[in-house]
Amino acid sequence: MEQIATSAAMTAWSVSQKNEGLTIGFVPTMGFLHRGHASLMSLLRPRVDRLVVSIYVNPLQFAPNEDLDTYPRDIEGDLATCRAEGVDCVFMPPDLYPDGFSSSVSVHGLTDRLCGASRPEHFDGVTTVVSRLFGVTRCDLAVFGEKDYQQLAVIRRMTTDLALPVEIVPGALIRDDDGLALSSRNKYLSADDRARGLSLHRALFKMATAYDAGITDAEAILAAGREALTFDRLDYLELVDAVSLQPIERVERPARALVAAFFGSTRLIDNVHLGPPWT
């Protein structure tokens, strides 16, 4: 498995693979890898000739009061995970942006609501880093987890709008045995916060159950969720159209229930599909 630390070396590696006619799949991550990340690697592995994983904690997507400096790291563990998943190349740049870097990529509309309302600079940081990583890795396919459902929608919009030559592949949300959505940030949770954090999953499950029982009115479904939800501070609980992410009054098309809440000082997010399946 190759380990590459500079953008120039990464691009040179990718170009040499592509000159051989090989396809490149890409899994961008911030490291501290868990089974959720591994599932994205194994989803892409059979679809591409070469699989690249990046490990980069992107400063652009953290606000000054967020956890950039304390974001958990475990490089040895991450490399072991990548090896086990058959990754060909791990890109781990200490710095990703060139001297004088002065560009940014913004997706409007989709980024104003949900996580974007409380983290106003976050998605510009994500779209900017993903654009640069697409350029550096020259990937043909890239996978993004449904765990960060709004992020997936924003990246899809950006890729379509800018005609980027990358196929975006969605990866299912992977949960721990108790139902908590796997996240690198779960490490911050005390045992008590973690137990209370399970209410996110319970609330979403209640909403899905209400829909399955024949309720399509969004307010009634949201009420079922609110009843099961406990938190220290709620950011949002919403029921939205699965594509536009706009609130809906009735579930008639594919929809998504999304929640974000604080437990202690840790902010957790979770989401679930509701409504007819995607065609």
Residues labelled catalytic? 37
- Which residues 95-154 are close enough to bind ligand AMP by CB under 6 A? 144-145, 147-148
Smallest CA-to-CA distance from 51 within 77, 94, 84 is with 84
Residues 156 to 185: which contact ligand AMP by CB under 6 A? 171, 173-174, 181-184
Q: Round to whole Å and give the CA distance between 87 and 192.
A: 36
Decide if residue 53 touches ligand AMP (CB under 6 A): no
Q: Which stretch binds ligand AMP (CB under 6 A): 35-43, 63-71, 75-83, 105-113?
A: 35-43
Nearest-approach distance from CB 91 to ligand AMP, in angstroms: 13
Burial degree of 15 (CB within 10 A; 0-12, 13-18, 19+): exposed
- The residue of the chain with the least Cβ separation from ligand AMP equals 145
Q: Is 174 or 237 the residue whose CB approaches ligand AMP more closely?
A: 174
Q: Is 30 in the site for ligand AMP (CB under 6 A)?
A: yes
Q: Nearest distance from residue 163's CB to ligand AMP, in Å?
A: 22
Other beta carbons less than 10 A from residue 20's beta carbon: 8
Q: Are 261 and 232 in contact (CB under 8 A)?
A: yes
Q: Give the single-character DSSP code of 217.
A: B
Sheet holding 266-274, edge to edge: 233-241, 255-263, 266-274
- Here the tokens at position 175 are 């949960």
Footprint on this chain of ligand AMP (rule: CB under 6 A): 29-30, 36-37, 39-40, 144-145, 147-148, 171, 173-174, 181-184
